[in-house]
Copies of this chain bind each other. A is one copy, B any other.
Amino acid sequence: MTMVPARQLDAADPLARFRSRFVAADDPSVVAYLDGNSLGRPLAVTGPRLAGFVAQEWGRRLIRSWDEAWMAEPVSVGDRLGELVLGAAPGQVTVADSTTVVLYKLIRAAVGARPGRDEILVDRGNFPTDRFVVEGIAAERGLSVRYLSAPHDSGVRPADVAAAVGERTALVVLSHVAYRSGFLADLAEITRVAHDAGALILWDLCHSAGALPVELDAGQADLAAGCTYKYLNGGPGSPAFCYVAARLQDELSQPVWGWMGAAEPFAMAAEYQPAKGIRRFISGTPPVLAMQPLKDMLELIAEAGLEAVRTKSVALTEHAVALADELLAPLGAVLASPREAAERGSHVTVDHPRFAEVTAALWQQGVIPDFRPPDGIRIGLSPLSTSFAELERGLQAIARELRSG
């Protein structure tokens, strides 16, 4: 196979111009940033946006900004996220809490809505937090957990779910894109399989939101959660999002009863009366400052178009696989992600027994992928900020380190 050179791919990339919209994208000390799937780069407008927010909305409008803007933001930012990224009609998404807390609230709500069923079905390949939350809830509610185990370089398929789901299943918890292998699950078909068995389904979108079109409404999803600091560039520890399909909202009850999820937050009421609609899934005061960076990234995605983002993401992962085949396979590294682009999200994982030490050496050189146990280097490709040349520099550096060992 003849690989197209990175320079040529960059020259032909219609999204190449977006790279300059990020902070220090051409900082020479960062040779290759291949971890936008863990922490997206900040946009160039984020610093000034925050400084302006402090000076004006917080500093001059002071508490009045709660009435003028902030009370609406967990839902208005959620609506924009729903429209541009999640395939969700308005009134179904909020932005608040950490992903872990959102998972806790949604899983508790879901199992509470299926009282005759005593099992939660999860993938062992789910990110640890998802499994931990499920196991904690199962322990406290007297439920059992049933595990799916997909191949290391793949993920959960509809037939796997069909074989495991049944009349005991209250809820299925799966990742849309697997955090390690990058496998992209068939959201609509697996949702259908779960529903056929009478179960609810919760999708973890951490590794897909912002990198490819998610179709929650079209796929009839029930619940979804995800973070905003990966492909949504919200900054370290930025708030999570929470999706609850409109048809379920008034039937579900989440356990963390806070004033901001009450029907009338400022009535200081004697008893908790949950708000109608998606607001009942909010608990405490929403993280307004922390959700500001996300707003600009959503508009950048709107400008680029999510289909174009996905097209570039596929081109990047294709190039990553080709480079891994050419440069790393001869040195004993093994691809741990699907070969079919249609089955991949926006990262590619390669395994080699020496990758723990290799990753440490790479970081010293400004080549920054991340490491996932036991022996994987994860190459995260954030379509609006990663260039093909950067990707190539990164994989060449990995090969160099492997050869030098």
Contact = CB atoms under 8 A, between A and B. Distances in A.
Interface stretch (A86-94, A267-275, A347-355, A391-399): A267-275
Contact of A66 (B101, B236, B259, B265): B236
A193 to B, nearest CB: 26
Interface string A12-42: 0000000000011001011001010011011
A237 to B, nearest CB: 4
B98 A258 contact: yes
Interface residues of A, number: 85
A289 to B, nearest CB: 4
Contacts of A172: none
A350 B230 CA distance: 48
Interface in A272-301: 272, 283-291, 293
Interface of A: 23-24, 27, 29-30, 33, 35, 38-39, 41-42, 46-48, 50-52, 54-55, 58-60, 62-66, 70, 96-101, 104, 124, 127-129, 131-133, 135-137, 140, 180, 227, 229, 235-240, 255-260, 262, 265-272, 283-291, 293, 363, 368, 370, 372-373
A129 B259 contact: yes
A235 B64 contact: no
Given A24-B60, A35-B62, A60-B30, A237 B285 contact: yes
A288 B235 CA distance: 8
Given A24-B59, A63-B370, A283-B100, A70 B256 contact: no
Nearest to A137: B255
Given A238-B287, A268-B128, A268-B373, A55 B136 contact: no
Contacts of A63: 35, 38-39, 368, 370
Nearest to A372: B268
Given A50-B50, A54-B42, A238 B289 contact: yes
Contacts of A271: 135
A190 to B, nearest CB: 23
Contact of A256 (B66, B100, B270): B100
Contact of A283 (B96, B98, B286): B98
Contacts of A256: 100-101, 104, 133, 136
A100 B39 contact: no
Contacts of A99: 284-285
Nearest to A133: B257
Contacts of A240: 284
B128 A269 contact: yes
B64 A363 contact: yes
Contacts of A229: 285
A382 B342 CA distance: 57
A48 B52 CA distance: 10
11 contacts: A24-B59, A63-B368, A99-B285, A100-B260, A101-B284, A136-B255, A237-B289, A237-B291, A266-B373, A268-B373, A287-B290
A235 B60 contact: no
4 residue pairs, one from A and one from B, having the closest CB atoms: A98-B284, A100-B284, A100-B258, A23-B59
A47 B54 contact: yes
Contact of A287 (B50, B239, B270): B239
